[in-house]
Homo-oligomer: A and B are copies of this chain.
Amino acid sequence: MSREIVEAAESILDKPVQVLDHGFVTLVEYMGGDASIVKAARNCVGITDEVRTREEDVSLIRYLLRNKHTSPFEFVEMIFHMKMPVFVARQMIRHRTASVSEASARYSPVKEEFYIPDKHHINFQSALNNQGGMWVAPEEIQHRFQEIEEYLARASFEAYNTFIGKEPSVQILEKDVFDGLVTSGGIARETARIMLPLAMYTSWYWKMDLHNLMHLLKLRMDSHAQSEIREYANIMFTMAKKVAPITMEAFEDFELFSMTLTKDDIAAITSLRNHAKKGTDDDDVLKRFKTRREKAEFLEKITELGLLDLLYAKHP
């Protein structure tokens, strides 16, 4: 293994990609790429021969990923500079295997930047899916939401800036009180910030190896993730494709767009197929599922596979 320079990755270094109204993701540094994954894996299996074809690399990387030989992917690192609302940061920080250096609201004042969702992010609560919002809200309500949220955020920052002694608001403190506050240094930033909303922006450097990044992307590009964090994840994914294109294609094939059949799914398909060959119906096939959700998911899966009509082999 020696220094890998990946041209496609070099070409996007230090170029911020905008997200939401004030956010961004920038790839500021990377280490390694598909080639270093291959080298780490080859040391493991004892192949020291340096000559190899692209096909062998593709085959090896895809084999590793499919069989959960995850260590070699840890040899690729990416550092992102990101700006995102606090509620997005709170979701992302749950991924514990990153290194993070976040802007501290204790050390320096928070800039007056907060997230106002675009209308397509303001939806009705889904009754089926507790996590998200799917049905479009009327424009009138979307607009009112933006208005109220902006009003509240501005009011919060007005109070915050007043109390840290930065910009006086006469509605909050009389002039002489404000002047006294400024002279004394203002209320501690760490205390004043508690009135700011979860919509306020924060920023950090985020370092993650490719194995752990794929895990994050799998969860955060998913349709169950909140739409805002999905936008960040999608950009990180695009950047990872520049650094390690073979790996990320394998990730799409084996993780993003794969399907897991449970033990019961397998037994059910086999049984349905056997019945179909005999021209009979397996009337009990759905009884094997231990929960309602698993039964529903099974039906979704065989629909996607084009196997739904196996259920009605006898009486199509």
Bound-state Cα–Cα, A74 to B102, Å: 13
Residues of B within 8 A of A77 (CB): 31, 77
Given A44-B102, A58-B290, A130 contacting B152 (CB threshold 8 A): no
Contact assessment for B260 and A133 in the assembled complex, using a CB-CB cutoff below 8 Å: no
Contact assessment for B306 and A125 in the assembled complex, using a CB-CB cutoff below 8 Å: no
Residues of B within 8 A of A44 (CB): 101-104, 107
Residues of B within 8 A of A43 (CB): 81, 101-103, 203-205
- A18 at interface (Cβ–Cβ under 8 A)? no
Interface residues of A: mostly helix, strand, loop or mixed? mixed
**Would you give the shortest CB distance from A94 to chain B, in whole angstroms?**
7
Residues of B within 8 A of A270 (CB): 304-306
Contact assessment for A185 and B125 in the assembled complex, using a CB-CB cutoff below 8 Å: yes
Contact assessment for B32 and A32 in the assembled complex, using a CB-CB cutoff below 8 Å: no
- A245 at interface (Cβ–Cβ under 8 A)? no
Residues of A in contact with B (beta carbons under 8 Å apart): 1-4, 13-14, 28-32, 36, 39-41, 43-47, 58-59, 62-63, 66-68, 71-72, 74-75, 77, 79, 81, 85-87, 90, 93-94, 96-97, 99-104, 106-109, 115, 117, 121-127, 130-133, 135, 137-138, 140-141, 144-145, 148-149, 152-153, 155-156, 159, 163-165, 172-173, 177, 180-181, 184-199, 203-205, 207, 209, 218-219, 224, 226, 252-254, 256-266, 269-270, 273-274, 290-294, 297, 304-307
